Amino acid sequence: MGATAQSALALAVVPFAADDAITESLLIHLLSGISDVIQDEGVQLVGGHTCEGLELACGLSVQGYTENPNKLLRKRGGRVGDKIVLTKPLGTGALFAADMRAQCRGDQPLESIGAVLNIQDMAFLKGGLQASSNGIFSTLQPQNQRNRRAVINHADAAKAHPVTYPLLFDPQTAGGLIFFVDPNSCNDFVAKLQETYASAAVIGELVKYPENASATAGGVCPIGSGVSTGQRVRIAL
């Protein structure tokens, strides 16, 4: 959000063990590792909660401060004309599914092009593309594909981009972030992102939908209540 991180609380889960000494040792190593990493960022581990579970896990709640709250980056709805920016390539779900079957390798991502609402402007992991070509997807892919109802030209997009289009529904593990960015500051924003995320690029733009459009006209996406909540997605072919 643009604030300076100051302190952190940890939620640590250690596996069940027959010996308390094993549990204690795992916990000490886990919290010591966390503390070493966050102290490099000037953050202090000030407490949290520990418990036992089936697998080792941890999470952090980080607190920070800013001298100017007006400069905080807050979540908000997009505005017409905002550019849509994606920070990482797509395909981790398919890539992991294929890797478990020894069907592909997790190579470096393809270079992104960076343009306006075009599937060809999106970055994809090479391994993800290979997995998709072989019809290998994450087990969560079918649930995500239910969102295809939000794509106006789903059939045409699936036909035109048979390998990359399915990856738009790929469940992303530690995937990239999507931002709606004012077009006047988008170029500087993306350039700054690319210092850390080389594949960060503009992948689309928010546009105004005709006020007289109806849910049955193929332009808005109804939710369970039948209320039309917004325009659908169009894939540039």
Tens-place pLDDT, residues 14-38: 888 777 888 888 888 999 999 999 9
| pLDDT tens digits for range 140-165 | 999 999 888 778 888 999 999 999 99
Report how far residue 96's alpha carbon sits from residue 92's, in angstroms, rounded to the nearest whole number.
6
Question: Is the pLDDT reported for residue 231 higher than 50?
Answer: no
Q: What would the mean pLDDT of 104-126 be, rounded to a whole number? A: 64
Domains in the chain, CATH or no CATH each: 4-71 (3.30.1330.10), 83-231 (3.90.650)
Report how far residue 123's alpha carbon sits from residue 200's, in angstroms, rounded to the nearest whole number.
8
What is the dihedral angle through the alpha carbons of 34, 35, 40, 43, rounded to the nearest 10 degrees? 110
Report how far residue 57's alpha carbon sits from residue 154's, in angstroms, rounded to the nearest whole number.
39
pTM of the model: 0.55
Give the containing element (helix H, strand E) for 27. helix 20-39
Report how far residue 139's alpha carbon sits from residue 154's, in angstroms, rounded to the nearest whole number.
21
